[in-house]
A and B are shown apart, each in its own frame.
Chain A
Amino acid sequence: MKPITFQLNGSARSVWVEPNETLLDVLRGKLGIKTPKEGCGRGDCGACTVLLDGKAVRSCLILAVEVEGQSVTTLEGVGQKGPTALQKAFIENNVFQCGFCAPGVILAASALLAENPKPSEAEVREALAGNLCRCTGYEPIVKTVLAVAKKTARQSTSRRVRS
């Protein structure tokens, strides 16, 4: 066992881990973080997506010992001050059905919008290509991400005009 310390959703957390425990194992089994899901367990489905230093990664393919000193964000950390504009829009548009892919999709889409606030439809599809959803056929997900990006861009433009 090795002790590791890392930032989890904005707070420092320390935990003892074995080298062969994945980050997903430790988040779910030892730290009570249940939104990252294990789907395929080999990096294809994106259900285990977390943000590592702000970037979307696969927590099923990262060993917990590797994240020492780094910053991990899960869906629990995204909604700390209530649902984000993206989450609200996903709810309003009834985007998800079973919801298994939702944490990964929301994190991947949030990372995209943080990096590229005005993505094209192709860019949205590419950013979410690694998050498999078996319910929706992706259309409502892609449309909602684009609508939120457009709305956010309009709001920030009007704020600039007023100030």
Chain B
Amino acid sequence: MSIAHEFDYVKARTIKEALQLLAQPGAVPLAGGTDLVAWLRDGAVSPACLVDIKALRELRGLRVQKGQLWIGANTTFAEIIESPLVQKHAPLLMEAAGMVASVGIRNRATIGGNICSAVPCCDSGPPLLVYDASVHVATARGVRKIPMKKWFLGPRHTALAKGGLVAGFSLPIGKHAGAFAKLKRYRGEDLAQASVAVRVAAGGEWRVAYGSVAPRPLRGPKVERLLKGVKSPDDALLTKAAALAESEIAPITDIRSSAIYRRLMVGVMVKRAIQMAAARLGGQGAAYGVHVLEEAGS
């Protein structure tokens, strides 16, 4: 037996049923399970009941509505990569989804689960932050929208209150370009040692976010202010951006990397992601889905 802890399992048929079940003490939602089952095996969590939310239609779907891209919480990373809507309206998210673990995980892991696990290295955090996405949380009293900026509170800690259920995400739509850089110990599957997401819109509106270099994924306001109004950043500006990026993160040393390596590499990654985003905005640069670090460095 791989899991020592015993628990109940219920497959919710409606969102109402799911919310009632999740209001019970010790009830935890189960989506793809790629984090949750690993944590159960480790004995890191001990829920009384798993509420399987995979059958909930409200949590599925990818569509454009009211000028926003809606991504249901149960959308898997494989579905995000394959979606023409995501490619068109949120290519940065597609680029990041392609770097999540491996195909076998991406076929199962959901974007809602990734955001709720809220580990500092989660790959969907930085892209959703720079897209100014909102998290739609279903509760017994209706839907509550939480801006991504206020979502992550710390490692494995989010603004989701007990009994709430993440239904999906809305992303404002608009012409833009972006780049996602993920630093790993080797090619192939790995958790991020550090990650950087950059988004730029016409007129030089820049947004930057970091993963794996602080207790939570976070935006980079200093770099954003520096780049405001800039269309094609020159070397001097990129050097400044790198220094500012290094000053607005708080990396630690762990099994994957030392703090100083993370800090210095974030400087390099910010430069290359900015360059790639600027090139893409101008209709140049590599197609989305490349590994920005390898591409820009070659």
Contacts and interface: CB of A to CB of B under 8 A. Distances in A.
Q: Answer yes or no: do A and B interact.
A: yes
Contacts of B34: 43, 58, 61
Interface stretch (A16-24, A77-85, A143-151, A155-163): A16-24
A36 to B, nearest CB: 12
A24 B38 CA distance: 13
Q: Quick one: which of B2, B3, B102 has the most chain A CB within 10 A?
A: B102
B37 A22 contact: yes
B189 to A, nearest CB: 5
Contact of A20 (B3, B38, B101, B102): B3
Contact of B104 (A20, A58, A63, A65): A58
Interface stretch (B4-12, B125-133, B236-244, B250-258): B4-12
B105 A43 contact: yes
Given A58-B34, A62-B108, A66-B52, A25 B2 contact: yes
A111 B102 CA distance: 14
A108 B6 contact: no
A125 to B, nearest CB: 8
B199 interface: no
B108 A61 contact: yes
A46 B104 contact: yes
Contacts of A63: 9, 30, 33, 37, 50
Interface in B1-51: 1-9, 11, 30, 33-34, 37-38, 40-42, 50
B67 interface: no
B105 A129 contact: no
Contacts, number: 97
Given A44-B189, A126-B103, A62 B40 contact: no
A49 interface: yes
B6 A18 contact: yes
Given A42-B41, A43-B105, A108-B103, A19 B7 contact: yes
Contacts of B40: 20
Contacts of B2: 21-22, 24-25, 38, 41, 60
Interface in B97-118: 101-105, 107-108
Contact of A22 (B3, B7, B52, B189): B3
A21 B105 CA distance: 19
A21 B1 contact: yes
Interface in A1-43: 2, 18-22, 24-25, 38, 41-43
A56 interface: yes
B54 interface: yes
Interface residues of A, number: 36
Interface size grouping (class) on chain B: 20 to 34
B184 to A, nearest CB: 11
Contacts of A126: 103
A95 interface: no
B142 interface: no
Interface string A103-127: 0000010011000000000000111
Nearest to B32: A61
A129 to B, nearest CB: 4
Given A20-B1, A20-B7, A25-B1, A41 B41 contact: yes
Q: Quick one: which of A42, A46, A61, A66 has the most chain B CB within 10 A?
A: A61
Interface of A: 2, 18-22, 24-25, 38, 41-44, 46, 49, 52, 55-58, 60-63, 65-66, 68, 108, 111-112, 125-127, 129-131
12 contacts: A2-B9, A19-B50, A20-B5, A20-B7, A41-B41, A43-B101, A46-B104, A56-B103, A61-B34, A63-B30, A63-B50, A129-B102
Given A41-B41, A66-B30, 18 more contacts: A19-B50, A20-B3, A21-B3, A42-B38, A43-B101, A43-B104, A49-B104, A52-B107, A55-B107, A57-B104, A57-B107, A60-B2, A60-B41, A62-B108, A66-B54, A129-B102, A130-B101, A130-B102
Interface of B: 1-9, 11, 30, 33-34, 37-38, 40-42, 50, 52, 54, 78, 101-105, 107-108, 187-189
